[in-house]
Copies of this chain bind each other. A is one copy, B any other.
Amino acid sequence: MEQFRVVKSITLELAEAMLDQAVTKARELGVSVNIAIMDEAGNLKSFRRMDGAPLLSIGIAQRKAYSAAAFRIPTGDWYDLIKENPRLLHGIPHTPDLAIFGGGFPIKVEGEVIGAIGVSGASEEQDEEICRAALEVVKN
């Protein structure tokens, strides 16, 4: 019997390097955001709220990261998956802790999800741009 499976989980070192990069990109864009990193199991690893970033985004950033860890897809992909089916369109967005708008991405190494990042506080496009800048830190 296989007793366990091997899982890869993001280190604090990578999480912090990603947060550094995210903050740098946000400053370039002139916005203040919240950034959350979760491990592959959806537990909080690292978090930063930039000075002046919106308070509600403390939670939104975490839910975006959690959603991306929990379903292994970018949060911005959800709408296309549910838009044609009215049951899903009216039902799925009520799932607690699920964000279905852009700004959450899985963090992958060698094809495996090791964690996730969520950014909230600017426009959806800017939140996603900040995520992508942070993901460039990850070596594959």
Q: Are B72 and A76 in contact (CB under 8 A)?
A: no
The answer to whether A91 and B101 touch (CB under 8 A), given A9-B7, A41-B55, is: yes
> In the complex, A8→B124 CA distance in Å?
29
Interface of A is mostly: mixed
Q: Are A3 and B7 in contact (CB under 8 A)?
A: no
Kindly state whether residue A28 has any CB partner on chain B within 8 Å. Answer: no
Q: Are A94 and B93 in contact (CB under 8 A)?
A: yes
> Please, which residue of chain B has its CB at the minimum distance from the CB of A69?
B55
Q: Which residues of A contact B (CB under 8 A)?
A: 1-17, 23, 39-51, 54-60, 66-67, 69-72, 76, 78-79, 83, 85-102, 109, 114, 124, 138-139
Known: A83-B86, A85-B101. 6 other contacts (CB 8 A): A4-B10, A12-B51, A43-B55, A59-B97, A79-B86, A87-B102
